[in-house]
Structure 1
Amino acid sequence: MTLPIHPCLWFDGTAGEAARYYCSVFPDSRILSENPMVVNFELNGRTFMGLNGGPQFSFNEAVSFVVTCADQDEIDHYWTHLTADGGREGNCGWLKDKYGLSWQIVPAVLPKLLGDPVRGPRVMEAFRKMKKFDIEALTNA
Structure 2
Amino acid sequence: MQKITPFIWFEKGAEEAAKFYVDVFNGSPGKRKRSQITSGLDYEENSAAASGMPEGSVLTVGLELDGAGFTFLNGGKVDWMNPSGRISFVIDCADQAEVDYFWKKLGEEGGEPGQCGWINHDKYGVTWQITPSGMFEYLGGKDKAGADRAMKAMLSMTKLDLGKIKAAYEGK
Q: TM-score scaled by structure 1?
A: 0.57
Matched, 1:65 2:89: yes
Q: How many residues align?
A: 85
Residue-by-residue CA offset, 1:66-118 (whole Å, 9 max, x unaligned)? 10011100000000000011111011111021111100101111111112232
Cα distance in 2 for partners of 1:71, 1:59 equals: 31
Q: 2:128 aligns with which of 88, 103, 120?
A: 103
Residue-by-residue CA offset, 1:26-78 (whole Å, 9 max, x unaligned)? xxxxxxxxxxxxxxxxxxxxxxxxxxxxxxxx872111111001110000000
Provide the residue aligned with 1:36 in structure 2: none
Q: 1:81 aligns with which of 96, 102, 105?
A: 105
Q: Which moved more, 1:92-101 or 1:75-84?
A: 92-101
Cα distance in 1 for partners of 2:113, 2:150 equals: 20
Letter in 2 for 1:100: G
C-alpha RMSD of matched pairs (Å): 1.7
Runs of 4+ in 1 over 4 A off after TM superposition: none
Cα distance in 2 for partners of 1:116, 1:87 equals: 32
Using CA pairs below 8 Å that are at least 6 residues apart, which structure has the higher relative contact order? Answer: 2
| Unaligned 5+ runs, structure 2 | 1-5, 7-81
| Unaligned 5+ runs, structure 1 | 1-6, 8-57
